[in-house]
Amino acid sequence: MGFILVQFLTGLASASSLFLVAAGLTVIFGVTRVVNFAHGSLYMLGAYLGWTILSALPRDPAWFALGVVLTGAGVAAIGMTIETTLLRRIYKAPELLQLLATFGVVLIVQDVVLKVWGPDDLTLPRPRWMRAFVTIADQRVPVYDLLTIAIGPLMLLGLWLLFTRTRWGTLVRAATQDREMVAALGVDQRRLFTAVFALGAGLAGIGGALALPDGSANGQMDLTVITDAFVVVVVGGLGSLPGAFLASLTIALLQAFGIVLFPKITLVLVFIVMAVVLVLRPNGLLGRPLAAARGDANTPALVRAAVPALRWLGAAVLLLAALAPLFAGPFALSVLTEMAIAMLFAASLHAMMGPGGMVSFGHAAWFGLGAYGAAFAVKGLALSMPAALIIAPAGAALAALLFGGFVVRLSGVYLAMLTLAFAQIVWAIMFQAVSVTGGDNGILGVWPAAWATDPRTYYWLTLAICTAGVLLLRRILYAPFGYALRAARDSETRAAAIGLNAAWLRLAALVMAGAAAGLAGGLTAFAKGSVFPGYVSIGRSVDALLMVLLGGVQSMAGPVAGALVYTGLFDILLMVTDLWRLVLGLSIVALVLIFPQGIAGTVHRLWLRGREA
């Protein structure tokens, strides 16, 4: 009995910490409609800044409280800076570009933290009051846990009062619904947005500081926290504070008891919860269908065919790429192989995102399944490389078919989060099923067939397969199927009225994208000679998103350009600087500010303008 109580209290304490981060994220999303990937980074900054401030203050409870509040204010100020210098300029840009910009901030913050606070985990000395226990039902319960438990509901109450009982809160709720109308009533929505962002950032900062006594400030917490926070926000329903609270409770308690009953399940438990909730309630526990916030320019992405000049440029690049092995060294060749694969990987995500209208945060799932499929085929089933390269896309496509039925019922961020959940489940399986997958050590010795061991031969093979794959995707997207898919994306009801089944079209697109990504994964397995859980990681999914978004979703050339630029930039940066994240992040932010339509979209526009003049 006492043990259950302790687990329960532990669960409540972690629910409070979860809620603090999720509350900020959901408030920011509700008002600005920006999916703020940098929210975990603000939490991390809270932890580091909190460490600096709290280490300098006397170690008694009153000073601790003051330090936490100061940290919150500091992170709020950082949030305000991010909002005014970056986000404010891109509220009218497509949603995905905003997402890209916040990715850039994540990268920048990672390097800044590393430079300022160093690579070591930072822990706070725990004074006596922090280590104190109270005895409840013969069990020792940390006082600090009880404090944390109280903070969650208090914060919910405070926020609720702020949003329902003050003029400011009323304005914020109005802006959530129709920001243009709020402006027409004389309210400066820019200041409102800045304040909301600062509030959300401050909450994240407080969350980070409060987590210090039970953990540490470390460089990995941003991505862990953002994933958890997203799950909470999505499970609760986007923009709903009570929903976020309920979801925090549900997830934290399930986590607290799940860890006792099935220790292995913890890595996937939250994602299983999310998948179940989204399947049963597509808008989260307390969420409502999202009407597009009025007053932003969310034009659906057109998908344009390349202009003739661009085709000639593409043909020239391809010719150059085909001739590359005649003069390129081994390193350049491996980079080129990577680029060819990235091109297919990005094009597969683009097929889903652009014409399909389904943004995926977990595209690495298909890539990883392809890679592991190919590895099993040669290592487990002793099949040949060509057979493995057929199994890779086929396996990924099969998984996409099975899983797709759940995905295609959702839309927008919910859909994206369900793909993330699926990717995390796949990742956890690869990571934990050590006897089959080798766990973190992966599967080694996945080498190409004897005839393709020469890197040049393998490169030519990869280039041929990837180019053919991209062209095939293009062909399909410009066939009647592609037009039907875009019709279903732009208006499901109108598409239904002319006899199109949107769900089937999306499922077919998902399977197609899954197969192409799986093929890219299979090719990577042989190129590297090994597969690791990292192939299914969030980072890999983010790579794909960055490539597509950098290139621009509006054109078929976009993902190809994005893949080449991103892979090239990445490899060059890795060579010349150890601050590659900072440089990459700044480049992304700069690119978003300069090319709000993506590289290919902007070039296309300039091209059109040039022709008109």
Partner 1 sequence: MLNVADVHSYYGRAHILQGVSFALPAGAVMVLLGRNGAGKSTTMKTLIGIVRPAQGRIEFAGADIAGWDTHRIARAGLGYVPEERRIFTDLTVMENLEVGRQPARDNRPPWTPDRLFALFPNLGRMRNRTGGRMSGGEQQMLAIARTLMGNPRLLLLDEPSEGLAPVIVEEMANAILALKQEGVTVFLAEQNPHFAARVADRATVIEQGRIVWTGTMAALQADEAARSAYLAV
Note the residues at the interface with partner 1 (CB under 8 A): 167, 170-171, 173-174, 176-178, 180-189, 294
3-state SS, 444-485, equals ECCCCCHHHCCHHHHHHHHHHHHHHHHHHHHHHHCCHHHHHH
Give CA–CA dist 501/484, Å, rounded: 9
| In the complex, minimum distance from the CB of residue 183 to partner 1, in angstroms, rounded to a whole number | 4
| In the complex, minimum distance from the CB of residue 100 to partner 1, in angstroms, rounded to a whole number | 24
| In the complex, minimum distance from the CB of residue 171 to partner 1, in angstroms, rounded to a whole number | 6
Q: Which amino acid is at 341?
A: I
Do 367 and 535 contact (CB within 8 A), yes or no?
A: yes
Instruction: Say how far residue 486 (Cα) sits from the centre of its chain.
Output: 24
What single string gives the DSSP state of each residue in 536-590?
Answer: GSHHHHHHHHHHHHHH-TTBSHHHHHHHHHHHHHHHHHHHH-S-HHHHHHHHHHH
Residue closer to partner 1 (CB basis): 264 or 294: 294
216, with CB counted inside 10 A (0-12, 13-18, 19+), is: middle
Residues 6+ apart with CB under 8 A from 119: 219
| In the complex, minimum distance from the CB of residue 182 to partner 1, in angstroms, rounded to a whole number | 7
Give CA–CA dist 495/447, Å, rounded: 47
Token couple for 600: 């290919």
**Closest alpha carbon to 82 in 32, 121, 17:** 32
**For the chain, what's the residue count?**
613
Do 50 and 205 contact (CB within 8 A), yes or no?
A: yes
Residue closer to partner 1 (CB basis): 178 or 571: 178
Give CA–CA dist 503/93, Å, rounded: 28
| In the complex, minimum distance from the CB of residue 245 to partner 1, in angstroms, rounded to a whole number | 19
Token couple for 609: 């303008």
Residue closer to partner 1 (CB basis): 184 or 434: 184
134 backbone dihedrals φ, ψ, rounded to 5°: -120, 155
Residue closer to partner 1 (CB basis): 125 or 186: 186
588, with CB counted inside 10 A (0-12, 13-18, 19+), is: buried
- The structure tokens 């300069």 sit at 594
| In the complex, minimum distance from the CB of residue 297 to partner 1, in angstroms, rounded to a whole number | 10
Residue closer to partner 1 (CB basis): 259 or 290: 290
| In the complex, minimum distance from the CB of residue 295 to partner 1, in angstroms, rounded to a whole number | 8
Residue closer to partner 1 (CB basis): 190 or 409: 190
Residue closer to partner 1 (CB basis): 174 or 401: 174
Residue closer to partner 1 (CB basis): 126 or 304: 304
| In the complex, minimum distance from the CB of residue 440 to partner 1, in angstroms, rounded to a whole number | 48
| In the complex, minimum distance from the CB of residue 174 to partner 1, in angstroms, rounded to a whole number | 5
Residue closer to partner 1 (CB basis): 174 or 394: 174
